[in-house]
């Protein structure tokens, strides 16, 4: 005969009370029927004061509504729901607004209970603090999409942004422009001053150009001394004005790296998304061709691909 452990009510209460992660019994209308565990003081505060309160009394309206919807999903499906979400000082009512805004991340498992609580259907909501793991994940994602040398977006991150911009153009006609540029006589910097100087020149150039850009503009180092900017400034006047600013910023940042017989500067190519484009490669190729034209014409100038943008009315 199999052994079956039988515990007293007080023993069950002691077990539940000692759980490191908090376990909530939440009713269909969003009321805290019970709070168990949560004894790991590194991550949780005492939640016993929540019993009897509603989510609407504890959380912001949008967040409370989200929780109630997830409770109803679990009750309707009768299947465990695994959720990942964040809570910040802006989500929890009654906290000082000047408190830390860094979110705390949770992974929760939500299961429907067969018993009713005060006449309401309810779920068991088990929450685990995953903030440290989430921050590590975000750091790894950041590293995967950014260039180690300059901190700019790398090719992978840029192509992701390009794909999103291209979809917006195809679906909604939202125009975007590219400025592609590289450093004239960059090899002379490496050969004459050494590769550490070449690396610092690229960092100085990146800082100088980044100050010209709006937060929604994507600035990428594709590799070596090749850079590209994805911008929503899509009138001829606006994008050429930005191009001139980039030229001047590049000249000022690179003047300290001049070597005998060569003064480093930039060559720029400008293009926009066009109706005949069938892929991201079409757009990138056109920007590169405009850049090459600038370079063969002597460098330290910009060239706009023909018919990239409509003439102003």
Of 145 and 205, more confident:
205
Domain boundaries for CATH 3.30.70.270 within the chain: 146-304
Q: Which of 15-24, 35-44, 135-144 has the highest mean pLDDT?
A: 15-24
Kindly tell me the sign of the dihedral angle through the C-alpha atoms of 240, 243, 244, 245. positive
The chain-wide mean pLDDT, for the chain, equals 89
**Residue recorded with tokens 């006609």:** 173
Q: Which helix (H) or strand (E) holds 83?
A: strand 81-87
* Higher-pLDDT residue of 249, 1: 249
Asked if residue 312 has pLDDT above 60, the reply is no
CATH of 9-138, one of 1.10.1420.10, 3.30.559.10, 3.30.450.20, 3.40.50.2300: 3.30.450.20
Q: Which residues pair with 184 in a beta bridge?
A: 265
- Residue 149 in contact with residue 226, Cβ under 8 Å? no
Write out pLDDT tens, residues 36-95.
Answer: 887 776 666 777 888 999 999 999 999 999 999 999 999 999 999 999 999 888 888 876
Q: Give start-end residues of each CATH 3.30.450.20 domain in the chain.
A: 9-138
Q: Which pLDDT score, from 0 to 100, does residue 99 have?
A: 53
- Segment 91-113 mean pLDDT: 79
Structure-model confidence comparison of residues 29 and 88, the more confident one: 29
Q: What percent of the chain has pLDDT over 70?
A: 92
Two tokens at 90? Answer: 């802006």
What is the model's pLDDT at position 40? 72
127: three-class secondary structure by DSSP: strand
Q: What percent of the chain has pLDDT over 90?
A: 68
CA 228 to centroid of chain Cα atoms: 19
Q: Write down the architecture of domain 146-304 according to CATH.
A: 2-Layer Sandwich (3.30)
Q: What is the pLDDT of residues 215-264, one digit of tens each?
A: 999 999 999 999 999 999 988 999 999 999 999 999 999 999 999 878 89
pLDDT in tens, 148-183: 899 999 999 999 999 999 999 999 999 999 999 999
Q: At what angle do helices 131-145 and 155-172 cross, to 10 degrees?
A: 90
d(CA 166, CA 180): 17
């Amino acid at each position: 005969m199999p052994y079956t452990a039988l515990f007293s009510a007080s023993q069950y209460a002691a077990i539940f009370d000692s759980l490191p992660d908090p376990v909530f019994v939440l009713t269909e209308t969003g009321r805290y029927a019970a709070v168990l565990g949560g004894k790991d003081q590194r991550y949780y505060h005492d939640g016993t004061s929540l019993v009897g309160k509603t989510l609407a009394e504890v959380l912001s309206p949008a967040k409370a509504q989200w929780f109630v919807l997830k409770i109803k999903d679990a009750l309707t499906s009768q299947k465990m729901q695994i959720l990942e979400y964040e809570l910040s000082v802006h989500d929890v009512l009654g906290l000082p607004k000047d408190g830390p805004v860094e979110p705390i991340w949770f992974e929760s498992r939500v299961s429907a209970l067969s018993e009713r609580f005060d006449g309401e259907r309810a779920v068991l909501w088990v929450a685990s603090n995953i903030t440290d793991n989430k921050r590590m994940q975000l750091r790894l994602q950041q590293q995967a999409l950014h260039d180690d040398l300059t901190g700019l977006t790398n090719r992978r991150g840029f192509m992701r942004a390009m794909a999103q911009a291209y979809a917006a153009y195809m679906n909604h006609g939202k125009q975007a422009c590219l400025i592609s540029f590289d450093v004239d006589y960059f090899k002379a910097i490496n050969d004459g001053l050494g590769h550490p100087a070449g690396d610092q020149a690229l960092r100085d150039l990146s800082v100088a150009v980044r100050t010209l850009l709006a937060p929604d503009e994507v600035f990428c180092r594709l590799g070596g001394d090749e850079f590209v900017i994805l911008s929503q400034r899509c009138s001829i006047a606006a994008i050429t004005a930005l191009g001139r600013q980039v030229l001047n910023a590049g000249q000022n940042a690179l003047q300290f790296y001049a070597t005998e017989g060569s003064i480093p500067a930039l060559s720029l190519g400008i293009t926009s998304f066009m109706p005949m484009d069938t892929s991201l490669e079409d757009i990138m190729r056109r920007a590169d061709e405009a850049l090459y034209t600038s370079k063969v014409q002597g460098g330290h100038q910009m060239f706009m691909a023909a018919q990239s943008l409509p003439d102003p009315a």
